[in-house]
Structure 1
Amino acid sequence: MAFEGLASKLQETLKKLKGKGKLTEKDIKEAMREVKLALLEADVNYKIVKDFVKKVSEKSMGNEVLESLTPGQQVIKIVNEELVELMGTTESQINFAQNNITVIMLVGLQGAGKTTLAGKLALQLKKKNKKPLLAACDIYRPAAIKQLQVVGKQIDIPVFSLGDKVSPIDISKAAIKHAKDNNLNVVIIDTAGRLHIDEELMKELQDVKEGVNPDEILLVVDAMTGQDAVNVAESFNSKLDVTGVVLTKLDGDTRGGAALSIKAITGKPIKFVGIGEKMNDFEVFHPDRMASRILGMGDVLTLIEKAQQAIDEKEAEKLGNRLMNQEFNLEDFQQAMQQMKNLGPLNKIVEMIPGINTKELQGVDLSQGEKELKKTEAIIGSMTIKERRNPSLVSGSSSRKKRIASGSGTTIQDINKLLKQFEEMKKMMKQMKGMQKGFMKKKGLFGKLPF
């Protein structure tokens, strides 16, 4: 979970302040010492930590905070604002070319995840009605071209290649011409990387930059490398003047130091983050939402956006109506679960819920809920259509339960548990029927979730 260690320590420290009716300068100094240690342990650059703590301390020592009725909350507000400032205040969008083809050049070290990232970016642009083309310009790494072609096929996006005998500059120019000829409006250039920064690599990237004049040069950095990620960003930016940074593998970095350091050191915004291995595990970077997650305030806006993208509104409304009218059966139950699964892994959803303390979740197996969903799907899938539409047929028949348990690889106890949950849901919905107008017709997240 991204920022796990930092989030739990900051939340714990600020919770102590929040619990006090009045704050003294000593309280704030002690809290800032803990904040400083938490940031350093999260692998945030020392100079940035020093400046951050100084700013928060100065603002927190003011009379308007110390004499406030809620001084702890005022300090939390200041920490939140400074975290947002540190990461870039607002989200940074792609600079699309006006009435022309947008050229996006991806650069970075080998192993940062550029090729996979190229596909994730292309898929997101496709969802926004753009017509992207992936250009295979890594002619050195074995199977790099093949990897990009596999990624392109997976997401149904064309890949342009001239093999590994043509220079990256010529491939880039030819890809742009191919895009024009085929009515495509975005070219994403997947360039070569090295295991370390060298003059040969930089010269080649500079030549590609001069040859095609890209609208965006996005530096792809592995968040798990911590301070090294910041050093890499500095080096690439000094040679290429990148327009933005993309952090990959942020979900695997419990510290988060790179995300908190890169913007401050390079002056270049973090535009996107990779948060998993799937092609959809890719987000626009919102500094305010990330700060909110770190401080345990949740990220309801991203959760709503995910719900809007993943959940079919018409189907959700239909399921809701059937549920409220007592017409809900196990077929509907299965469909509702599928809609929920589309939101993504439970551990990533939990991060976005306000008030969740990441420390309290340590040791909790969040994958258990997903295992239960799979088990439920297997049980319902092993039923006949008649049984799904009329679960009472199963409730009163031990032979049916044995057959379903055998077909789903579960036990009769599992089936009884599911049937009990189903009946409890129906009873609850019967009690809520009188509240239908006030609940099911609400807009936003709760109006979209199919339960």
Structure 2
Amino acid sequence: MVLAQLGGSISHALKRMNDATVVDEKVLSDCLNEISRALLQADVRFGTVRDLQANIRRIVNLEALAAGTNKRRIIQQAVSSELCRMLDPGKPSFTPRKGKPSVVLFVGLQGSGKTTTCTKYAEYHRRKGFNPALVCADTFRAGAFDQLKQNATKAKIPFYGSYTESDPVKIAVEGVERFRNEKCDLIIVDTSGRHKQEAALFEEMRQVSEATKPDLVIFVMDGSIGQAAFDQAQAFKQSASVGAVIVTKMDGHAKGGGALSAVAATKSPVIFIGTGEHIGEFEVFDVKPFVSRLLGMGDLSGLINKIQDVMPADQQPELVQKLTQGTFTLRLLFEMFQNLLNMGPLGQLFSMLPGFSAELMQKGKEKEGQAKIKRYMTIMDSMTDEELDSTNPKLMNESRIIRIARGSGRLVRDVMDMLEEYKRIAKVMKNIPITKDVNPNSNTYMQQIIKALPPNLLKQMGGVAGLRTVMKQLSPKRVMS
């Protein structure tokens, strides 16, 4: 995903600044120029990039800083806050509430993935306890109703549409009324799109909007449209009172700068990002964690949320107990791999782990990494209970390794690779103290954590203060709630 390359470029610029012997005006200029180039290459508008650079320079006045001030941290905080400001319009979008009927209207150009996104949005809220329903008011595109019907059936979500009625306003009104009577609390209306912005599209959107009186209008934007995003988003905002944005197709070559442009044009927040074609490939967009990942500082709170979504609540205490016992076995590694595969794209998950993404998952090779994990799990399936639960490194002798290779249909070299990977991960887990009572204010505990972190990670996280914030996010009290 090219958005990850943007984050890599920005974090690289900050790393070069951190590695400089002295932070002076030249170092600051080089850092800002490198960040600006990365944003422009990601299709962020020139005016937006120019404003960001000017704002950072206004915040960071090197000559006015007192002696002994941590200039590196001030620059990093300024970059982070300005990126957050670019992505955050300062006002939240409408949030549906369970039990209270809400109508959400989806708009966008044809080909942006609008119909698929409607189903993803419905399925996300269904998992949160809502009773959603889908209405197909797209009478322009042949096959639109069939597509929505197929997606909704697969997700087990009620739907409404018509093969004979050509008036989208009538279909929308009938569908909304039907699902209101059926006590659905989230009614999602999919509207027509066009290949380009034209008067007929905007007039139809206006009519459907007036007839259904939606609580929220969501603009669905193809993440790969680049510089055209600003003008396109602005046109939809003027015609349909857009209140939120969803950016799709962020799993391929989309550069992601369009998300920044859409926020600037609509003054509305990005609320979700589509990261693939499947229904589950849909993630909540939260500005601060997103920028944190963009800068290479991880998003542990996001990772915890994913764990809570995927792992049943009754299994969470069991996992914590196993980790607190201080023994990291092959069986526990197998369970962790199993949970990771259920959580979503592995590249995104490892980007949430500060400092470990390069070790565990190489950028641009996520599919190979996923295949490797599945291969390792196949090998572990051929192990005995004794082998899976053992903490004795001498147990895995040559005869056992050969037997496991034959049983799993893999080469002996593959088994050896898996065991080496296990030893490396076990060493990392051993160095990070995990206790039932994490007290981020304890100096002793903090010193243990600091010793376990990779060399440059503490600096990236904003020093001890930043580390304390991360540890509060990691506290079991939050995980188990």
Common topology (TM > 0.5): yes
Counterpart for residue 301 of structure 1: 301
Q: Which residue in the other structure is 1:199 paired with?
A: 199
Q: Which residue of 2 aligns with 1:287?
A: 287
Q: Distance in 2 between matches of 1:294 and 1:200?
A: 39
Quote the residue 1:260 is aligned against: 260
Match of 2:23 in 1: 23
Q: Which residue of 1 aligns with 2:273?
A: 273
Bigger drift between 415-424 and 37-46 goes to 415-424
CA contact (8 A) 2:301 2:474 kept: no
Report the CA distance between 1:418 and its aligned residue.
Answer: 5.3
- What is the DSSP-based 3-state SS (H/G/I as helix, E as strand, rest coil) of the residue aligned with 1:290? helix
Confirm or deny: 8 A CA contact 1:169 1:208 kept in the other structure: yes
Change (3 A) 1:363 1:271: closer
> 1:401 deviation in Å?
5.8
Partner of 2:10: 10
Q: Secondary structure at the match of 1:251?
A: coil
Deviation of 1:282 after TM superposition, in Å, equals 1.6
Question: SS where residue 157 of structure 1 aligns?
Answer: coil
RMSD of aligned C-alpha atoms?
A: 3.9
Native 8 Å contact 2:138 2:190 kept in 1: yes
In structure 2, relative to structure 1, the CA distance for the partners of 1:370 and 1:90 (3 Å cut) is farther
Letter in 2 for 1:262: A
**What secondary structure sits across from 1:354 in the alignment?**
coil
Q: What amino acid does structure 2 have at the position aligned with 1:318?
A: E
Partner of 1:103: 103
Distance in 2, matches of 1:118 and 1:400, equals 49
Residues 405 and 411 of structure 2 are in contact (CA less than 8 Å); yes or no, is this contact kept in structure 1? Answer: yes
Equivalence for 1:373: 373
Specify whether residues 286 and 173 from structure 1 end up closer, same or farther in structure 2 by C-alpha distance, changes over 3 A only.
Answer: same
Q: TM-score, normalised by structure 1?
A: 0.84
2:242 match: 242
- By how many angstroms is 1:383 displaced? 6.8
Instruction: Give the residue type in structure 2 aligned to 1:181.
Output: N
- Please state whether the residue corresponding to 2:343 is helix, strand or coil: coil
Task: Give the match for residue 443 of structure 2.
Answer: none
Equivalent pair of 2:137/2:172 in contact (CA under 8 Å): yes
Partner of 1:186: 186
Task: Give secondary structure in 2 for the equivalent of 1:110.
Answer: coil
Identity of aligned residues (%): 28
Tell me: CA distance 1:262–1:178, structure 2 relative to 1, closer, same or farther (3 Å).
same
1:98–1:345 Cα change, 3 Å: closer
Superposition deviation, residue 55 in structure 1? 1.1
2:220 is paired with a residue whose SS is: strand
**CA displacement 1:70-99 (0-9 Å, x = unmatched):** 112111111111111111166834343797
Say whether 1:223 aligns with 2:223: yes
The number of aligned residues is 444
**SS of the residue 1:3 aligns to:** helix
**What corresponds to 2:213 in structure 1?**
213
Q: Aligned ranges for residues 16-415 of structure 1 at < 5 Å?
A: 16-20=16-20, 22-61=22-61, 63-65=63-65, 67-88=67-88, 92-96=92-96, 100-253=100-253, 255-318=255-318, 321=321, 334-355=334-355, 365-381=365-381, 405=405, 408-415=408-415
Aligned residue identity for 1:195:
H
| Letter of the 1:60 counterpart | V
- Deviation, 1:216, is 0.7
Q: Deviations over 1:246-298 (max 9, x none)?
A: 11122334532112222123322222211223322222221222222222222
Listed one character per residue, the Cα deviations across residues 283-316 of structure 1 (whole Å, up to 9, x for unaligned) are 2221222222222222222111111112234324
Distance 1:134 1:46, change over 3 A: same
Partners in 2 of 1:315 and 1:59 — Cα distance? 47
**Residue pair 2:361, 2:369 contacting (<8 A) in 1 also:** no
> Do 2:104 and 2:216's aligned partners in 1 also have CA atoms closer than 8 Å?
yes
Q: Give the distance between the partners of 2:425 and 2:292, measured in 1 at CA.
A: 33
Q: Which has the higher mean CA deviation after the structures are superposed, 110-119 or 177-186?
A: 177-186
Give deviations 1:131-153, integer Å, cap 9, x for gaps: 11011111222221111111112
Greater Cα shift, 188-197 or 139-148: 139-148
Provide Cα deviations, 1:53-82, integer angstroms capped at 9, x if missing partner: 111112212545474521121111111111
CA distance in 2, matches of 1:387, 1:19: 45
> Mean alpha-carbon deviation: is it higher for 346-355 or for 59-68?
59-68
Q: Sort the Cα spacing of 1:174 and 1:36 in 2 relative to 1 into closer, same or farther, 3 A.
A: same
For the structure 1 residues 319 and 399, does the alpha-carbon distance in structure 2 shift closer, same or farther, using more than 3 Å as the test? same
Would the alpha carbon gap of residues 165 and 345 (structure 1) be closer, same or farther in structure 2, given more than 3 Å must change? same
**Any conservation in 1 of the 2:115–2:147 contact (CA below 8 Å)?**
yes
Counterpart AA for 2:56: V
Partner Cα separation in structure 1 for residue 328 and residue 352 of structure 2: 29
Displacement of 1:193: 0.8
**2:222–2:248 contact (8 Å) kept in structure 1:** yes
Q: 1:60 to 1:419 in 2, by over 3 A?
A: closer
Tell me if structure 1 keeps the 8 A contact 2:80–2:292.
yes
3-state SS of paired residue (1:342): helix
Deviates more, 1:207-216 or 1:67-76: 67-76
Query: What TM-score, normalized to structure 2?
Result: 0.79
Instruction: Go from structure 1 to structure 2 and tell me whether the alpha carbon gap of 1:12 and 1:67 turns closer, same or farther (over 3 Å shift).
Output: farther
State the alpha-carbon separation in 2 of the partners of residues 399 and 33 from structure 1: 56
Structure 1 contact 222–249 (Cα < 8 Å) conserved? yes
- Report which structure shows greater RCO (CA 8 Å, sep ≥6): 1
Moved more, 215-224 or 291-300: 291-300
Using the TM superposition, give the Cα deviation of residue 158 of structure 1 relative to its aligned residue in structure 2, in angstroms.
0.9
For 2:88 and 2:261, how far apart are their aligned partners in 1? 11
User: Is the Cα contact below 8 Å between 2:401 and 2:415 reproduced in 1?
Assistant: no
